[in-house]
Amino acid sequence: MNTGEKIRNDNWWRGGVIYQIYPRSFADSNGDGIGDLAGVTARLDYVASLGVDGIWLSPFFKSPMKDFGYDVSDYCDVDPMFGTLADFKTLVERAHALGLKVMIDQVLSHCSDQHAWFVESRSSHDNPKADWFIWADAKDDGTPPNNWLSIFGGSAWQWDTRRCQYYMHNFLASQPDLNFHNPQVQGALLQTVKFWLDLGVDGYRLDTVNFYFHDAQLRDNPGRGRPTGEDPAVNAVNPYGWQRHVHDKSQPENLVFLRKLRALLDLYPNTTMIGEIGDDDGLARVAEYTQGGDKLHMAYCFDLLGSAHSAPYLHGVLKRFDELASGGWPCWALSNHDVVRVATRWGGASPNPALLRLAAAMQMSLRGSTCLYQGDELGLPEAQIAFDELQDPYGITMWPEFKGRDGCRTPMPWESESRDMGFTLPLAGARPAAVRPWLPASESHRTMAVDVQSSQEDSLLNFYRRLLRWRNAQPALIEGEMDLLASHPQVLAYVRSGEGQNLLCLFNFSDQAAQWTLPANLTVLQVLTESGLASSQLEAGKASLPAWSGLFALLK
């Protein structure tokens, strides 16, 4: 419980590695085919063995599950399919005993249309919660009040026959957006945040954190035309990307609310927030939302969640953030529950294991914090899901050109020879043959299961474990500064510096060998091989880097 005064923060998150768990797909403790909190608890020893600092749990709150928990119907309770509040408390206790922090996903921008708040709001024009959501009259011709679009397709406005008005939804029509211009809404949501802080959570991942406020005048977004070229923030087959989203999100009022949210977390020791930012200029928004020490502690956007991963592209992303940051703190994610797995996005149908090691080494050495998505430490490729097995409403709507998010959400493969690869835990007993996991376990993952890779010294899983142990012993990689070196057509190069350590980081992001020359002002003291990146050589100021290889070296 807080004392009402700002509490010390040990900054555990700053430079920390956070492991994202998608509970539905992590471990099933009761044999119903759906992962749950008790299943997560049972597998926490594995997570701790990776050497990460904490976990982020995707939503487990009460929900009709139209968007698999991102449509909350009760912010202060656990959905029965995931367990109980007692199960959650047990999970937190076990995680803390293992030295793991616990962050939970909080969806504040919108809720379910089955939430009591919305049920009341839609009942009349003059009820106490009439203005808790974004209602608007139709135009004279009956069409929606403006041109705003839903990310999941179609208009962002849904007609409601009870009020004979439209309500706004950035996602599914069953996910109405809350009206943050109403102070009562802000207060109610802050109370839900406080509820879980009082239960001992160590922080929040804030879903769609730049979507909280909308333009109160409901002005149309300007068009941008059909996007062309590589843009990780734009789905090429979704017209949502044809607009410049200057009025439906990322409003200046958002900063005021984030300060309120930060003030609440500052009452609780050693807590943190990471924001998910989907914006036309995500890096600029990350910088804006994390500067000054009075808003988000850290944030991530989608610049590393697309297919682009050339050295010049990566250099450009890092350079732009460095120019914008002014004290901001990023969190770098290469995968999550919303995008194609990095093994497939960056590696194609047959990803080179060396590329996956290189991507991990780069991610773990960037200035900032890191989010690692469950299964990426195994190198899991995107699973192929048949249309009749799809669960994701986004994929069902956009099929076949966009297959949705199910391919990165299939069950975690624990045991190669077990039924459904060990997704259902032995403690669940015999599961009826008719009960299948909510998404099929992918046969392409069988040879990559945890038990297989744990027994192989040179597996990607064991590489991650060695890399994280090594990283935790390098002070420059935790909170040190980063100096980008000159752009190179194949090699991404930078220096991390902190606590008397200067660490050169080189990564050849190409399928051809590369030569890289050390700048005249830098002198290598020792090439470090403990990280597992030992295939490259650096002699007489020149590095020889085979395809998809890297190098760490101490500088004088």
Q: From CA 446, how far away is CA 461, in angstroms rounded?
A: 14
Q: From CA 290, how far away is CA 329, in angstroms rounded?
A: 6
Q: What are phi and psi of 490, to 5 degrees?
A: -125, -30
Dihedral, CA of residue 84, residue 86, residue 87 and residue 89, to nearest 10: 130
246 in Cβ contact with 161 (< 8 Å): no
353 in Cβ contact with 314 (< 8 Å): no
Q: What are phi and psi of 554, to 5 degrees?
A: -80, 140
517 in Cβ contact with 529 (< 8 Å): no
Q: Which residue of the set 105, 177, 207, 377 is catalytic?
A: 207
396, 391, 397, 430: which is closest to 411 by C-alpha? 391
Q: From CA 149, how far away is CA 282, in angstroms rounded?
A: 19
3-state secondary structure of 312: helix
Residue 192 neighbours by CB distance under 10 Å:
15
Q: From CA 369, how far away is CA 424, in angstroms rounded?
A: 32
Q: Which residue of the set 276, 288, 392, 406 is catalytic?
A: 276
User: Is 207 designated active site?
Assistant: yes
Q: From CA 348, how far away is CA 227, in angstroms rounded?
A: 23
Q: From CA 168, how far away is CA 176, in angstroms rounded?
A: 6
User: Is 443 designated active site?
Assistant: no
In sequence order, the β-bridge partners of residue 10 are none
Question: Which letter does DSSP use for residue 271 in this model?
Answer: -
Q: From CA 464, how far away is CA 455, in angstroms rounded?
A: 14
Is the N-terminal amide bond of 252 cis, ω within 30° of 0?
no
What are the catalytic residues?
207, 276
